[in-house]
Amino acid sequence: MRVQNACVPHDFHLNDILAASQRLGDRVRRTPLLDSAMLDARAGCRLLVKADSLQRTGSFKFRGALNKLLALDPQARERGVLAFSSGNHGHAVAAAARMLGCPAVIVLPDTAPQVKVDNCRWWGAEIVLYDPHRQDREVVGRELAQPRGLTLVPPFDDLDIMAGQGTCGLEICEQLSGLAVVPDAVLVACSGGGLASGVFTAVKAHHPQARCIVVEPVGGEKMARSLAVGTPQRNASVPATLMDAIIGPVAGAKPLEVLRRLGTDALQVSDEQVLPAMATLFDTLKLAVEPGGAAPLAAVLSNPREFAGKSVVVVCSGGNVDDHVFTRALASRDLARS
Amino acid sequence: MRVQNACVPHDFHLNDILAASQRLGDRVRRTPLLDSAMLDARAGCRLLVKADSLQRTGSFKFRGALNKLLALDPQARERGVLAFSSGNHGHAVAAAARMLGCPAVIVLPDTAPQVKVDNCRWWGAEIVLYDPHRQDREVVGRELAQPRGLTLVPPFDDLDIMAGQGTCGLEICEQLSGLAVVPDAVLVACSGGGLASGVFTAVKAHHPQARCIVVEPVGGEKMARSLAVGTPQRNASVPATLMDAIIGPVAGAKPLEVLRRLGTDALQVSDEQVLPAMATLFDTLKLAVEPGGAAPLAAVLSNPREFAGKSVVVVCSGGNVDDHVFTRALASRDLARS
């Protein structure tokens, strides 16, 4: 039996992701797995880029959100849902709720990029802002949800969310198989661990030898520490980074358990490494990717010896970036044009 | 019988495109057909965006170039090929030649964006620059090709090139069918007409009622005038526009014939309309698109009454854009954020 609401050992396997994939059908976009000879030359390895920035709402979060909403009973959907989010999750829940005709309340930090706030509002969701330096978003969320009977849609610590995000990994495996590529390593940006746990579960089921690596901002290595000690760790403070999508306060218990079982490694990247990675994705693949979404590529480009000659998958998990940050990314790199 | 080298009536039909598609196989990327509820709201119609900026080398040109090279006899491929190009075609020929292990000489205008020059060089092609205000690129190209026995790969006025570009239209039709969408209109940026003739041939074979529209820069409406008078017209001068991909001097004779037979319409757009369209693609679909590639969307957004409530396909044909132009695009729009 699946124990959904306790942080105790539980099952989470490929079958959960296959079920999510069936449930979602073509409501979720099958995003391309891209490559580029120029990018390979720059990275010194064979790179496969999963462009989930092209997912509906501009990030992978739509996969988990829609899977969660589809798994609710119809009465709960009618009462509505609530999400607390650093932005992309809220946007995804708002869009998924609109798609299924269910009310949504989105709780956002007042530090979120304006584009993310506006995106949630656009889908017709009710917006509540909070101060991430003073308030715990989960408490804020629960206080809003209870009187209205709203279902809380957690951002990552939930098996339906993890299964939905895992469909990204399932697509990667199918696409790798079409290319006859066996991956040596798969890198995913990580905050709570929902995407990483889902993607790596799919990847390890198909490629047990693949090295699975979560990528976090320098100064916000809560999952690296959680993997080391075995229990969910918190960031001591909100890290000062442009990677706003991966600065949540705490690692997810269920994702952590999955990531530990799969033998996950961790790498950290700085803004100074992420900005040129964004420019590289613009140059070579014509993708607009947000700082957190470019973190995996930044990790590969800044650890060339670790990945030299290997087949490496990086997930570009989101593309919701403000103009001034994107412009900084373009200005960040020496064009290296002869 | 196919008459390939004369500007006389000839056959060009869906079968030519189907053959190109078979020949190309998975060497050409099947680019996604994207949509966005936010984009639909902004445009006032149902928009389907063919993201051929995600094609190998960052533009649709790779399709035609590779098809042409694959159609050559092996001896000709060994001697090598030559292309004259405003940039994307040269880049595509260079990459296709590298893929097939054949020598390539690329003749570029000295006004081409630096990124396009560098891209050709990167693939190992020999680069020759010319002055588009003083020299005819076709003459320059022929003078280089003859002594070495190089095969000229023309940018558009060639049935193999047109058939290769047509695979973009074939994919659109397959993707529309998967979405159960019947298009009211399809818009393609146009210089010589290679892409438009290929895409519209595929579209009209599947959707005879669809309106086919070429989009050109204001001041460079050579195809609009060619369609009106029935013979290939030249631009009086190089138009002053950021849409460098569609400022070639003359409309193609073979494409023109196809476009006339299909009953093609024409629209013009200005840089002031194209820049915000680029920003819109960045905002809603996370795509980096070059000015010429955003021209079809600009035409829809600036003619709202013409497309209101319709199902409209726009081809985003390329993504090779210099930083400063992309930054101008982002700065061009009022964010319209409440």
pLDDT, average across residues A195-223: 98
Domain over A14-59+158-332 is classified CATH 3.40.50.1970: no
Residue A193 has pLDDT above 80, yes or no: yes
Count of other CB atoms within 10 angstroms of residue B42: 18
- pLDDT confidence of B7, banded at 50, 70, 90? very low
pLDDT of residue A267: 98
- Nearest-angstrom CA–CA distance, A169 and A204: 10
Q: A314 forms bridges with which residues in the sheet?
A: A49, A187
Query: pLDDT by residue (tens digit) across B258-315?
Result: 999 999 999 999 999 999 999 999 999 999 999 999 999 999 999 999 999 999 999 9
- pLDDT confidence of A86, banded at 50, 70, 90? low
pLDDT, average across residues B22-50: 97
Retrieve residue B256's tokens: 């023109």
φ, ψ of residue B263 to 5 degrees: the values are 70, 55
Tokens 């509505």 identify what position? Answer: A80
Return mean pLDDT, chain A.
93
- Nearest-angstrom CA–CA distance, A294 and A271: 10
H/E stretch holding B15 reads helix B14-24
Q: Which residues contact B147 (CB under 8 A, 6 or more apart)?
A: none
SS3 at position A102: coil
A32 with B54: Cβ contact below 8 A: yes
**Residue B88 or A7, more confident:** B88
**Cβ proximity of B43 and B283 under 8 Å:** no
Residue A8 has pLDDT above 60, yes or no: no
In chain A, residues with a C-beta closer than 8 Å to the C-beta of B121 are: 338
- Nearest-angstrom CA–CA distance, B304 and B261: 27
For the packed helices B61-71 and B88-100, what is the interaxial angle rounded to 10 degrees? 40
Size of interface A-B (CB pairs under 8 A): 79
Residue B335 has pLDDT above 60, yes or no: no
- pLDDT confidence of B171, banded at 50, 70, 90? very high
Q: Name residue A269's amino acid.
A: V
Q: How far B336 CA lies from chain A's nearest CA (Å)?
A: 10
Query: pLDDT by residue (tens digit) across A121-134?
Result: 899 999 999 998 89
pLDDT, average across residues B145-155: 93
Q: Which of B286, B289, B332 to mutate to test the interface with A (most CBs of A within 10 A)?
A: B286
pLDDT of residue B338: 31
Instruction: Kindly report which listed range (A101-105, A114-118, A202-206) carries the lowest average pLDDT score.
Output: A114-118
**Cβ proximity of B328 and B255 under 8 Å:** no
Residue B195 has pLDDT above 50, yes or no: yes
Option in B95, B282, B337 nearest A288 (CB)? B282
pLDDT of residue A337: 38
Return mean pLDDT, chain B.
93
Residue B115 has pLDDT above 80, yes or no: no
Single pTM value for the model = 0.93
- Nearest-angstrom CA–CA distance, A248 and A103: 25
Q: B185 forms bridges with which residues in the sheet?
A: B211, B312
- Nearest-angstrom CA–CA distance, B20 and B142: 26
Tokens 């930090």 identify what position? Answer: A109
Residue A11 has pLDDT above 90, yes or no: no
Q: DSSP label at A252? A: -
Select from A152, A4, A139 the least CA-distant residue to A76.
A152
- pLDDT confidence of A94, banded at 50, 70, 90? very high
- pLDDT confidence of B337, banded at 50, 70, 90? very low
pLDDT of residue B3: 42
Residue B109 has pLDDT above 90, yes or no: no
- Nearest-angstrom CA–CA distance, B289 and B52: 9
pLDDT, average across residues A148-156: 94
Instruction: Kindly report which listed range (A68-72, A112-116, B46-50, B61-65) carries the lowest average pLDDT score.
Output: A112-116
Query: pLDDT by residue (tens digit) across B172-192?
Result: 999 999 999 999 999 999 999
Radius of gyration for the alpha carbons in chain A, expressed in angstroms and rounded = 18
B54 with A38: Cβ contact below 8 A: no
Find the angle CA(A307)-CA(A311)-CA(A313) to the nearest 5 degrees: 90
Q: Which residues on chain A place their C-beta less than 8 Å from a C-beta of chain B?
A: 26, 29, 31-32, 34, 36-38, 51, 53-54, 56, 58, 95, 98, 114-115, 118-119, 121-122, 178, 282-283, 285-289, 319-320, 323, 326-327, 330-331, 335, 337-338
pLDDT of residue B334: 58
SS3 at position B234: strand
Is B14-59+158-332's fold the same as B62-152's? yes
Q: Which residues contact A103 (CB under 8 A, 6 or more apart)?
A: A79, A80, A81, A97, A126, A150
pLDDT, average across residues A32-60: 97
Domain positions in chain A: 14-59+158-332, 62-152
B54 with A286: Cβ contact below 8 A: yes
Residue B8 has pLDDT above 70, yes or no: no
Q: Name residue B204's amino acid.
A: K
* A288 → chain B, closest CA residue: B286
For A72-99, the DSSP string reads S-HHHHHH-EEEE-SSHHHHHHHHHHHH
Q: Which of A286, A320, A326, A327 to mutate to test the interface with B (most CBs of B within 10 A)?
A: A286
A286 with B287: Cβ contact below 8 A: yes
**Cβ proximity of B132 and B102 under 8 Å:** no
Q: Does the structure's ipTM exceed the value 0.90?
A: yes
**Cβ proximity of B232 and B200 under 8 Å:** no
SS3 at position B84: strand
Select from B51, B87, B29, B34 the least CA-distant residue to B320.
B87
Query: pLDDT by residue (tens digit) across A309-330?
Result: 999 999 999 999 989 999 999 9
pLDDT, average across residues A169-179: 97
pLDDT, average across residues A209-233: 97
- pLDDT confidence of B2, banded at 50, 70, 90? very low
**Cβ proximity of A336 and B114 under 8 Å:** no
- pLDDT confidence of A334, banded at 50, 70, 90? low
Fold of A62-152: Rossmann fold (3.40.50)
Query: pLDDT by residue (tens digit) across B77-90?
Result: 999 999 987 688 99
B282 with A34: Cβ contact below 8 A: no
pLDDT of residue B142: 82
pLDDT of residue B113: 73
pLDDT of residue B86: 63
- Nearest-angstrom CA–CA distance, A164 and A60: 9
Residue A115 has pLDDT above 90, yes or no: no
- pLDDT confidence of B133, banded at 50, 70, 90? confident
**Cβ proximity of B52 and B318 under 8 Å:** yes
B115 with A337: Cβ contact below 8 A: yes
pLDDT, average across residues A272-299: 97
SS3 at position B104: strand
**Cβ proximity of B200 and B56 under 8 Å:** no
Option in A283, A287, A327 nearest B286 (CB)? A287
Residue B196 has pLDDT above 90, yes or no: yes
Instruction: Kindly report which listed range (A140-149, A222-231, A252-261, B30-39) carries the lowest average pLDDT score.
Output: A140-149
Long-range contacts of A108-111 (CB under 8 A, 24+ apart): A108/A84, A109/A137, A111/A238, A111/A244
